[in-house]
Amino acid sequence: MDFYLLLLRLIHILGGVFWAGSVFMLTGFVGPAVSQAGPAGGKFMQRLVLGTRFTTVTAVAAGLTVLTGLLMYLRKLGVLGNFSVDWVSTGEGIVITIGGLAGIAALIAGALTGSTSQKLAELGASLEGPPSPEQASEIAGLQNRLSDLGVTASILLVVALISMATARYVFF
């Protein structure tokens, strides 16, 4: 039994489940509920982003998922042994490559989401009363960016998940 590969797969799968589940939950349910809740929703998001380790834990899960995926990919290529790119041209190799690239792009979208969330939370925490028209415009822009990034990350994660789940069954 290859314990190294087993450990990589466990970290990859468990991290990916947490990461994707967090993104899907935030994008599909929490974000829309926060928008509908008005100022109370903003306070909730401030608490979530600034008052918990949620964003840190999600970022660590995403990073570990991508890192372990890269290590397994390099192992499959034989980078540490007999290097061969033949596998990449197989159906499985192509689908895994697409999924891996989608996962890396989702990680980048997540990093942008994290910095935007931090900015929005800090702006909201600095307000003493209702926002000025300039602040309201900045808040709306940041909220729109968060929504767009959430949808983008969700789509990329769906591509990555489907790719990883089906790659071994693709033959051409």
pLDDT digits (tens, 9 = 90+) for 132-147: 899 889 999 999 999 9
What does the block give as tokens for 3? 């314990």
The widest CA-to-CA distance across the chain, in whole angstroms, is: 64
Is 79's pLDDT higher than 90? no
Closest Cα partner for 153 from 94, 88, 65, 70?
Answer: 65
pLDDT over 70 percentage in the chain: 99
What integer pLDDT is reported at residue 77 of this predicted model? 86
What does the block give as tokens for 172? 């051409």
What does the block give as tokens for 155? 């789509």
Q: How far apart are CA 97 and CA 47, in angstroms?
A: 38
Q: How far apart are CA 126 and CA 120, in angstroms?
A: 10
What integer pLDDT is reported at residue 9 of this predicted model? 96
Residues 96/163, Cβ–Cβ less than 8 Å: yes
Render pLDDT for 35-65 as a digit per residue (tens, 0 to 9). 899 888 888 988 998 899 999 999 999 999 9
Instruction: Output the pTM of the full model.
Output: 0.90
What confidence category does residue 80 fall into, taking pLDDT thresholds of 50, 70 and 90? Answer: low
| Ramachandran quadrant class, 38 (left: phi over 0; alpha: psi -120 to 50; beta: rest) | left
